[in-house]
Amino acid sequence: MPAGLGIDFGTSHTVAMVRRADGRTEPLLFDSSPLLPSAVFVADNGDVLVGRDAWFSSRTAPARLEPHPKRCIDDGTVLLGEREMAVPDLFAVVLERVCTECVQVLGELPSEVVVTHPAVWGPTRRSVLSDACERAGLGEVRLVPEPVAAANYFVRRLGYEVPSGASIVVYDFGGGTFDASVVTREGADFTVTSLDGLDRLGGIDIDAAVGAELRSRVGSAADWDWLTDPRTTGHRRGRHGFVEDIRLAKERLTRHASADLYIPVLDRDVHLTRSELEEVAAPFVARSVRVVQAVIREAKLGPADVMGVFLVGGASRMPLVATMLHRELGVAPTVIDQLEQVVAHGALFSEPAAVPVVGPPVVEADSPQDDPVAVRGAGRLTVVPPTSTSRIRLSRRAVLLGGVAAAGIAAVATGVMLNEAEAPAEPGDASSSEPLTWKSEPFISGLIDVGGIAFHPDGRLAVSMRDNVELWNPDGTLAGVLAQPERGERLAFDADGRRLVGWGPDSAYVWDVENGEILCQFDSDMESAAISPDGSWLAYERDGRVIVWDISAQEVLRTLEIGKSVHGLAFSPDANLLAVGWVGEPVNGQHEQQADSYDFVQQVRVWDVATELPVVTLDYSSPIVGPVRFSPDGSLLAAGGYAIGGGVVDVWNVDGWGKVSTLDANGLTESIAFSPDGTILMAGSSVAGINEDEAVALWNPRTGEQLDTLMNEGDEVRDLAFGPEGLLVACALESSVVMWRPG
């Protein structure tokens, strides 16, 4: 496969993905971010700046900045300060930055360069883009409509199976524009069959409306002259910072129920809630929904004929978008985390290729069944009886290739059972002179926004997604679905598997696994939670306190005064101890631009649950603490986190609390797990570090020896877990679950 470069030249940001010759893909980074602001600035001396440099320089001279070049497509020329720039040159300076970064990463410009464009652009606009690409040094490029690239990403990268002749909707709500398209599968490729858009509807328009709302709530009109008509350098700097704060607050409100903003010049703090943001944004989102309804009608389809609605663009991340689309169309939209990268990534898959075109298996709703389970899939509902061995093929491929007979796991490969003699041997001692080697096989693919995973004692795997938790049998068949009204990010079973707890940005739930009943629900932002081994108690953080909740009695059992932001909780196996990891405020009172200038409180404190008194406070090696875990026998305590250049995991001996080892992980270590016998400690990175070939590492926790490295393709790890017998390792990625086994 030849190396390639895919570019999504966006209104607010430009994103680029590279494909190496071995087929691996990765985003280009611009100042350590995959998002390059498309802004262009002309300095007094004639230098042309792009991206963050342009935004930073514009604080004192906004007239020299064009923040959204793509909106100038029909203008011919643009005046920046005293310099007049042709639109192709304006585009070219942004694309040249992409070209430069690509050459630094790959060593040369690949022979295949694909640039996407709005599907509504005709030949005249496309020729401007082609001209800009040539001026940027990209040479002859292939232009692909953005919705076609997005469709290819969801099908060829994430594994959605769309039959030939079927149609999907691509809803692209970006920073500066909105586009809706009906895309139809024709053989191995896609065709846009209906489209429309709004050139002046995007995330920046919602930001402006939020600013107007705040002006109406705080002070008088004259108090806001610095924003509406800045005349001094201080006012222009204040305006620049305030506009950026609104954007960041809007992003925080996609994850949290409220956010605070600081109003410069007025020196005021204001509180903004998600409901207030949604009230402001609703008219804009409603306009976009009407466009979607129009393109569906134009394609001579009804909502029931649409196989899925796929969201693209940063502004689509607002929960209101999915809510209004679902309400008006009756189709649950599909959203993934890295919305901004979908189009650029899909551009690399845009050429016709041999992709299976298979429709989903359908079980007639009126056929004889016992308690059917409704399973979500790409906007369609497939009814699968609990005892069915059918695969869920529309939204996921449930295939387990290889298995472990000792764990009761039958190996299934494309429906063919393997011989039990092929099961691997017992893992043995982790400190053996012949360390284990682990081999990976796909288990479930095509999932939607995976959060956490957890193994039930009987070998079933629970997978948390946006609006439900799915239970999968060891043979790759779906066992059941638990309703989850809010998205969860972590899962944990109690010791005997009777209860399951799930928690995330907005809520937490405890289920009775046997009947699927929600035993208790908490509407609160939870960074961490823990269930006691016997399933009696739930520990969670709220407002600087750790609450221990009695699940059966539905009452508070203990309250631990922490006064910190808690990022990790864990009960000891006997539930006598509760470990709490926290991140305090920097000593200097503010977050600096570089992480090595942080001076965080770095501690893990262990509490006696019965007395509510601290037992010990442990110094932690990292500026940011993450998950904490006790070993299964309760003899060790481990805590993961992040330090400059990579992740860190500290391990202490519970007997005396001496530090046993400090393990150098990779990236932001948000997931750690002990093997059932406690001889292996595993850590997964949710954000890649310096070495992207070390996303999951396995150590001997007592000696600090690294035993193996998994996930050798730089994949982002959402969560990980050991199987009940320690013979399987499950890794949850953004849209799939991979199983590792000794072999």
Kindly indicate the confidence band of residue 340, based on its pLDDT and cuts at 50, 70 and 90.
Answer: confident
Q: Do 668 and 686 meet the contact criterion of CB atoms below 8 Å apart?
A: yes
Helices (H), 218-341: 225-228, 233-252, 274-298, 319-329
Q: How confident is the model at residue 451 (pLDDT cuts 50, 70, 90)?
A: confident
What's the confidence (pLDDT) of residue 430? 38
Close Cβ partners of 297 (under 8 Å, ≥ 6 residues apart) = none
Segment of 135-149, 210-224, 226-240, 669-683 carrying the highest mean pLDDT: 135-149
Reply yes or no on whether the pLDDT at 6 is more than 90.
yes
Which residues have CB under 8 Å from 267's CB, separation 6+?
none
Nearest 10 degrees: CA dihedral of 54, 57, 59, 65?
A: -40
For residue 461, give every residue at least 6 positions away whose Cβ sits within 8 Å of its Cβ, in sequence order, or none. Answer: 443, 453, 454, 455, 471, 472, 474, 721, 730, 737
732 beta partners: 719, 737
Q: CA-CA distances (angstroms) from residue 471 to 165, 241, 414, 743?
A: 32, 46, 20, 26
**pLDDT-based confidence at residue 713 (cuts at 50, 70, 90):** low
Residue 584 clears pLDDT 60, i.e. is over it: no
pLDDT at site 363: 28
151/349 Cα distance (integer angstroms): 9
Residue-level pLDDT at 14: 95
Strands 48-50 and 65-66: unpaired
Averaged over 310-329, what is the pLDDT? 89
* pLDDT above 90 coverage of the chain, percent: 22
Q: Rank 103-117, 228-242, 354-368, 516-530 by mean pLDDT and report only the highest.
A: 103-117
| DSSP per-residue string spanning 182-228 | EEEEETTEEEEEEEEEETT-SHHHHHHHHHHHHHHHSS-GGGGHHHH
> What are 373's two structure tokens?
């389970």
Q: Is the pLDDT of residue 263 over 70?
A: yes
Q: How confident is the model at residue 666 (pLDDT cuts 50, 70, 90)?
A: low
Average pLDDT of 263-284? 87
Q: Find the mean pLDDT for residues 581-597.
A: 49
How far apart, in whole angstroms, are the C-alpha atoms of residue 227 and residue 187?
53
Banded pLDDT at 387 (limits 50, 70, 90): very low
Residue 40 pLDDT more than 90?
Answer: yes
Segment 494-517 shows an average pLDDT of 85
User: Cβ contacts of residue 146 below 8 Å, gap of 6+?
Assistant: 8, 116, 117, 118, 119, 170, 172, 179, 312, 343
pLDDT at 587: 46
Most confident of 142-151, 298-307, 521-530, 546-555: 142-151
Rounded average pLDDT over 390-399: 26
Q: What share of the chain is helix, strand, coil (3-state, %, to 5)?
A: 20, 35, 40
pLDDT beyond 70 at 179: yes
Which range among 74-83, 151-160, 441-450 shows the weakest confidence by mean pLDDT? 441-450
Region of poorest pLDDT, from 140-154, 543-557, 572-586, 591-605: 591-605
Query: Is residue 144 pLDDT above 80, yes or no?
Result: yes
- Print burial letters for 61-71: b (CB count within 10 Å at least 16), e (below 16): beebbbbbbbb
Average confidence (pLDDT) over 280-298: 89
For residue 450, which amino acid is it?
V
**Residue 134 binned pLDDT confidence (cut-offs 50, 70, 90):** very high
Higher pLDDT, 417 or 328: 328
pLDDT for 301 beyond 70: yes
The predicted structure's pLDDT at residue 7: 96
Instruction: Measure CA 476 to chain center.
Output: 24
The C-alpha angle 155, 158, 161, rounded to 5 degrees, equals: 40
Confidence of residue 426 (pLDDT cuts 50, 70, 90): very low
Q: Is the pLDDT of residue 44 over 60?
A: yes
**Which is it for strands 13-19 and 36-37: parallel, antiparallel or unpaired?**
antiparallel
Q: Which tokens hold the place of 682?
A: 């595993």
Cα angle: 138, vertex 142, 146; to 5 degrees? 110
Q: Residue 9 in 3-state DSSP?
A: strand
User: Does 404 score more than 50 pLDDT?
Assistant: no
Spatial distance between the Cα atoms of 27 and 11, rounded to a whole number of angstroms: 18
Instruction: Say how far apart CA 478 and CA 692 lie, in whole Å.
Output: 32
Q: Could you tell me where the DSSP H helices lie in 69-122?
A: 87-106
Least confident of 371-380, 613-622, 706-715, 720-729: 371-380
The pLDDT, as a whole number, for residue 600 is 52
The number of beta carbons lying within 10 Å of the beta carbon of residue 445 is 18
Bridge partners, 172 (sequence order): 179, 312
Check whether 367 has a pLDDT greater than 70: no
Provide the greatest CA pair distance for the chain. 81
Given a cut of 50, is residue 396 above it in pLDDT? no
Average pLDDT over residues 594-621: 72
The two three-digit tokens of residue 542, written as one number? 């709220």
**467 closest CA partner among 322, 361, 328:** 322
Average pLDDT over residues 391-404: 26
> Is the model's pLDDT at 503 over the cut of 80?
yes
Mean pLDDT of 436-445: 72
Give 145's pLDDT tier (boundaries 50, 70, 90): very high
Task: Give me the pLDDT at residue 624, please.
Answer: 63
Pairing of strands 4-9, 112-117: parallel
Average pLDDT, rounded, for the chain: 77
- In terms of C-beta distances under 8 Å and separation of at least 24 residues, what long-range contacts does 49-52 make, across chains too? 50/93, 50/94, 50/96, 50/97, 51/94, 51/97
Q: What is d(CA 217, CA 209) in angstroms, rounded to the nearest whole number?
A: 13
- Residue at token pair 């080697």: 437
Mean pLDDT, range 382-404, rounded to an integer: 27
Task: Say what the pLDDT of residue 369 is.
Answer: 30
Catalogue all structural domains in the chain, each as residue range(s) with its CATH number: 1-140 (3.30.420.40), 145-359 (3.30.420.40), 564-717 (2.130.10.10)
Of the chain, the percentage scoring pLDDT greater than 70 comes to: 78
The CA distance from 97 to 644, in Å, is: 27
Residue 309 token pair: 């609605």
Residue 653 has pLDDT above 80, yes or no: yes
User: Who contacts 419 (Cβ-Cβ below 8 Å, separation ≥6)?
Assistant: none
**Is the C-alpha dihedral spanning 121, 126, 128, 133 positive or negative?**
positive
By C-alpha distance, which of 457, 437, 507, 516 is closest to 482? Answer: 516
- Highest mean pLDDT: which of 31-35, 91-95, 194-198, 695-699? 91-95
Q: What pLDDT, on a 0 to 100 scale, did the predictor assign at position 383? A: 26
Residue 189: both structure tokens together: 């490729």
Nearest to 299 by CA among 117, 154, 170: 170
Name the DSSP class of 419. Answer: P
Please state, in angstroms and as integers, the Cα–Cα distance from residue 665 to each residue in 631, 641, 681, 691, following that order: 18, 9, 11, 10
Q: How many CB atoms lie within 10 A of CB 130?
A: 19
Residue 613 identity (one-letter amino acid): L
Q: For the chain, first and last CA: distance in Å?
A: 29
